[in-house]
């Protein structure tokens, strides 16, 4: 019903946000910018979403205590993509983030928090 569709819509937003955040933190590190400074800069403003602060801090600390695993998030991302295809949509960002989940899971981070997709985006890809 509508509740299930709304959950898929919310998951689309979460997947996109998480993927962009992972790449932003990785890009900051690769270019010599302290990613904690980035999070501090956006904190308190309209871009400093509490969710971004929470997951971004996990990425900066490279510590992923599980509140929602990468495996489960990957499953939800696949459901989003399936539904999008059913509606003749091509969600490129969701596809790209799903690939980050795949890489993180293959690297052994499936049971870590979904923020561990950062590990698939970072320069040393550990």
Per domain, the residue ranges of the chain are 2-121
Contact criterion met (CB below 8 Å) for 88 and 23: no
pLDDT digits (tens, 9 = 90+) for 24-65: 999 999 999 999 999 999 999 999 899 999 999 999 999 999
Summarised one tens digit per residue, pLDDT across range 63-88 is 999 999 999 999 999 999 999 999 99
- pLDDT at residue 126, rounded to an integer: 54
> Is the pLDDT confidence value at 92 over 70?
yes
Angle 110-52-125 (CA atoms, 0-180°, nearest 5)?
40
pLDDT at 65: 97
Q: State how far the alpha carbon of 12 is from the alpha carbons of 19, 60, 80, 116, in Å.
A: 11, 23, 6, 18
Q: With respect to CATH, is domain 2-121 assigned 1.20.58.2050?
A: no
Count of CB atoms within 10 A of residue 21's CB? 25
Among the listed residues 47, 22, 32, the one whose alpha carbon sits nearest the alpha carbon of residue 125? 22
């Amino acid at each position: 019903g509508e509740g299930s569709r709304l959950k898929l819509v919310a998951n689309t937003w979460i997947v996109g946000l998480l993927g962009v955040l992972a790449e932003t933190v990785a890009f900051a590190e690769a270019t010599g910018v302290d990613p904690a400074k980035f999070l501090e800069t956006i904190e308190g403003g309209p871009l400093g979403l509490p969710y971004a602060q929470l997951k971004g801090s996990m990425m900066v600390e490279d510590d992923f205590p599980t509140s929602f695993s990468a495996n489960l998030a990957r499953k939800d991302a696949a459901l989003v993509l399936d539904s999008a295809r059913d509606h003749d949509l091509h969600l490129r960002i969701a596809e790209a983030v799903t690939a980050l989940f795949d890489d993180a899971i293959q690297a052994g981070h499936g049971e870590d928090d979904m923020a561990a997709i950062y590990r698939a985006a970072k320069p040393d890809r550990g």
